[in-house]
Structure 1
């Protein structure tokens, strides 16, 4: 009987796989299932995974016939998941030995739909603990209470799938699906749906997940291509979820998040071609103007003056 399934999307991760496989081995238990899905890598990833399976026959390996993206890869891997509980691992990250057992113990002890954890950010040789933005620890909470208000970072803004574990018997199956049209930021609306449609959650102070934030040329968060603009589609999904609730606080929170992510990507525009920069400006203008005007006005008050000036200029761009 499988207790826990761990989904590991992999793409051109040959450099990181030895460490990833070592961390899987150090967290292995007979009732844990590790599903590694190779998204049609073009480096040595397939060979490394095949060699690993010879030594660890309990691994579940999937290879996509073409490059689908991480959202669809996660969905395909989920179809093979047998465990009641579910979590994720990125191929360039790693667990501390025993981290999965400790996380599972916390979820079962607190008897909630899902739990979230802190994590350790890795920048080259530097390590820093990043706390989940929830001060109340080891107590069951209403996930809706963690959506919070505009101007603050809350658990719904902590979009790390791997910093959590989820009970598949208590969460509706459809909530686990990712939007396959999104090449990046698919986890953002995923967490909004989770917080809006579940009954209980908790944060535990575990720090056994190590998140690599240093240079990784395959990381979507560091890309500067057309897929980068998928953040607009992802946040449009959040906008629609918030509007559907007719809850003014949720709508203003979504508007604030939209303004914040647009400002961030505008600040990073140098990584985009001139054509994509123009598309960023015009699509961002159309996107921000799709929110209720009062919600955007309320959101803008929470930014410093330079950022407000930038956002107001974007709002006034003629939409093509």
Structure 2
């Protein structure tokens, strides 16, 4: 057989309750599913996730299951899939999400037509049976765009505020250039430096009218619903964002956006910190102080001034504290 048209990377840990939905949706993407290489990375599951996925080997002849004896985390599992991928194009699917029929056929057709490095799409959120439509922050669809041109302005939602790896398809030349990999070991906020790197360094992208990815929200096992130390991964994540921006030839252009993003997310976590243990709260505050110290002083001051009074008061108190 020749090169697969598309590699679909599915990192999964303890998803026995949902994996059949995801796999079933993959059987409905192309007239011939053999054009897909499906890399399911079983990241140390304690349930039957891998066995249930393996039951789809007949309708999905390109299915490969990679097993980790112990969990490595979402970012590392995706990287493992990337390292094994051989397809002309690459996409990601979370194991509790699913596709509308023909979604991937539409995306691969469109990325080939436009010849861009990556293609992004709107998505549908499914929360306790209710579906809502969510647009990517770029309204121009079906045309070639400059990724760097869609990072700013800092006060509006832009494409670097849309860090969902599963909302699009990517030319494998990005993977070959090292632009698709995630920061190893991150359990949360893994998409933040990933999307910044793409928009700083890729040559072209587009947004398509194909909201065929259904993103399941409100799952109790989701890390967004858990308040342990893994929530602090956003600090390491933004350390990488700051490194990328600082090394860019137009760092001054992009610092305000990176700072505003970080400060907003820091306030979000501080607002949830009463659900964290005392030591995690302590490390959260110390980490925020250390991260803000990495920002150019004028950028940090401007970012704080732009916050609403309530959030500015909370964050200023943390920055002035020593505990």
Where on the TM-score scale, by shorter chain, does this alignment land: which range? over 0.9
CA distance in 2, matches of 1:307, 1:215: 28
Partner SS for 2:15: coil
Aligned to 1:91: 95
Deviation at 1:317, TM superposition (A): 2.0
CA distance in 2, matches of 1:209, 1:112: 20
Q: Are 2:228 and 1:225 aligned? A: yes
Deviation at 1:33, TM superposition (A): 1.1
**Residue 27 (structure 1) aligned to one of 29, 36, 39:** 29
Aligned to 1:149: 153
Q: Is the 8 A contact 1:263 1:310 kept in 2?
A: yes
**Residue 101 (structure 1) aligned to one of 102, 105, 120:** 105
More divergent stretch after superposition (285-294 vs 111-120): 285-294
CA distance in 2, matches of 1:314, 1:254: 19
**Residue 138 (structure 1) aligned to one of 127, 130, 142:** 142
Partner SS for 1:207: coil
Q: Are 2:42 and 1:52 aligned? A: no
Aligned to 1:7: 9
CA distance in 1, matches of 2:70, 2:214: 29
Deviation at 1:183, TM superposition (A): 2.1
CA distance in 1, matches of 2:151, 2:106: 26
Partner SS for 1:9: strand
The alignment covers a number of residue pairs equal to: 318
**Residue 73 (structure 1) aligned to one of 72, 77, 96:** 77
Q: Is the 8 A contact 2:34 2:61 kept in 1?
A: no
Deviation at 1:171, TM superposition (A): 5.9
Partner SS for 1:190: helix
Deviation at 1:172, TM superposition (A): 4.5
CA distance in 1, matches of 2:147, 2:313: 34
- Ranges of 4+ aligned residues in structure 1 off by more than 6 Å: none
**Residue 208 (structure 2) aligned to one of 191, 204, 208:** 204
CA distance in 1, matches of 2:181, 2:17: 29
Partner SS for 2:207: strand
Q: Is the 8 A contact 2:50 2:65 kept in 1?
A: no
State how 1:120-199 maps to structure 2 within 5 Å.
120-169=124-173, 172-199=176-203
CA distance in 2, matches of 1:171, 1:273: 38
Q: Deviations over 1:108-142 (max 9, x none)?
A: 11111111000001111111000000122211111
CA distance in 1, matches of 2:119, 2:306: 29
How big is the alpha-carbon RMSD for the aligned residues of Structure 1 and Structure 2? 1.6
Partner SS for 1:268: helix
CA distance in 2, matches of 1:181, 1:50: 26
Q: Are 2:239 and 1:242 aligned? A: no
CA distance in 2, matches of 1:251, 1:95: 36
CA distance in 1, matches of 2:174, 2:276: 42
Structure 1: gaps of 5 or more residues: none
Q: Is the 8 A contact 1:175 1:194 kept in 2?
A: yes
Partner SS for 1:280: helix
Q: 1:55 to 1:115 in 2, by over 3 A?
A: closer
Q: 1:171 to 1:226 in 2, by over 3 A?
A: closer
Structure 2: gaps of 5 or more residues: none
Q: 1:172 to 1:299 in 2, by over 3 A?
A: farther
